[in-house]
Structure 1
Amino acid sequence: MTGLVKAKQYDWKDSNLALFGSDTEKQVKKESAESEPAWKGIGQKPGVQIWRIVKFKVASWPKEDYGKFYNGDSYIVLNTYKEESSDELLYDVHFWIGKYSTQDEYGTAAYKTVELDTFLDDKPIQHREVQGFESDLFKSYFDTITILDGGAESGFNKVTPEKYEARLFHFCGTKKLVEVRQVPRAASRLDSGDVFILDLGLTIYQWNGRGSNKDERMKAMQYLIALKDERRGRAKSEVLEEEGLSKSHEFYHALTEEDVPDEAENMKPKDLTVELFRLSDASGKMTFNVEKTGSVATSDLDSKDVFIVDTKRAVYVWIGLDTSEAERKNAMSYAHKYLQNTDHPLLSVTCLAEGKHDKQIRIALSA
């Protein structure tokens, strides 16, 4: 019998997404955007809409699963909203990349995000989101974000409870947002400051760490109830308190998997200095150079060029009003390639256009 092979995590040092938006990428045209069935009727009223990339196509994601993401997939998320005292519809469009998503999937998600931006007359703010490093804006759309292993086809609604594969879920956060992640079913993953649910199919345990907060406990209890409802009353459950729980309990005996370290945990910047880069073709060829380090203000930006700001918490691509077509087309590509060569390639990336998103860039630079 051959063992299961763990899917390869995304390799940010060798990604075809570097071609996204460049001159080698097929030009996205309004006609092609209008022919995409997924975009019909979207963005007409405030709210969030989500799609998953399936074999190069855009598939609607069920509303009951909003906030759930599989780490083997890529998604597009559109938020439509109005600002106070205005009836104008505004948009944020995000493509979210699971850590085991294939290059084809997240390349398609990136391409389709540009297409969606074109469909909505270039009004949206574009964002790249990476699993585990999502922007605060992205997180704000959901009461809970749940990260599940595999692709959407690995969901368990098609099999009987007796055939469920045991899963361990980690609940961590506050009232503002509790994140739920499926983690290896290993004892080393338990953290006294958080809550865990062990789903064995017909038996479900909620393990409350001695230092866990009420929000984590409440969110875990809601999750547990939802799991039991899915099983139509066939599953039993038990809430366990870490304090005083015997190590001989079945809960601990079921934690038999080998822990697998998350490669992304080591991809955090060591130097937190803010850096500003200028992308320009004024010399006749495309150049990308450091413009400034340390504090950056809007007065440092020039309408004739593209600027990339790395705050070490997020990356912002600012496109001046008078930039050339080549500069605009290559803006996101250069931001992506720049991050590939850093020690923090997984940061979220937001693209802001001068004149349309001036408020957002001021907020980003003052944070």
Structure 2
Amino acid sequence: MASSTVATATLSSILTPEDRSSTRVRRNLASITRIVEVDVDANSLNSNDAFVLKLPQNNGFIWIGKGASQEEEKGAEYVTDVLKCKAARIQEGNEPEEFWNSLGGRGDYQTSPLLETRAEDHPPRLYGCSNKTGRFIIEEVPGEFTQDDLAEDDVMLLDAWEQIFIWIGKDANEVEKKESMKSERNISKYCQTQNGTQLNSTSHGEYCALHH
């Protein structure tokens, strides 16, 4: 795991057997798994991540959110190894009262149908937006794609499930820009996203990471 060195240097040196801690494990779009210590509180949970709750005497819980990926689950197991913590594995929605009591009680945390969906179930998809035929159309780029597939005379949409990235080519015309920047509801007709998905805009020359 790419974050192994960082995790070993920070987690094992800071925590002692008597400490109580909560650690979040999250994998981003670049397939990098990040391990971050968070507040020991129910508010720190997120349905899209995995968490390790370490309790005194080196026991605790591995909490698996409904949308957590397999890599995040493996990352949580790695954390317990680093902390030498014997943790019971629990799934979101099946938590024992001991778990909530250890967090100071139940509380609101980030959850939604979108967050409860595993990211690997919705791989990134790239679309080209053009009016070269005389009418504005959005077409998916077939197969695997890289940054070389960004057409400078078009507007491109990268549908990353949780977010939509709108990339504006330097030679894209005004119609393509206007139509591509319309409401999320219109864009979502072509994409795999749901209402509430974040839209991000970037232009030619700015960094736009494509991972597939």
TM-score, length basis structure 2:
0.45
In our comparison, the structure showing a higher alpha carbon Rg is 1
- TM-score of the aligned structures, taking structure 1 as reference length: 0.29
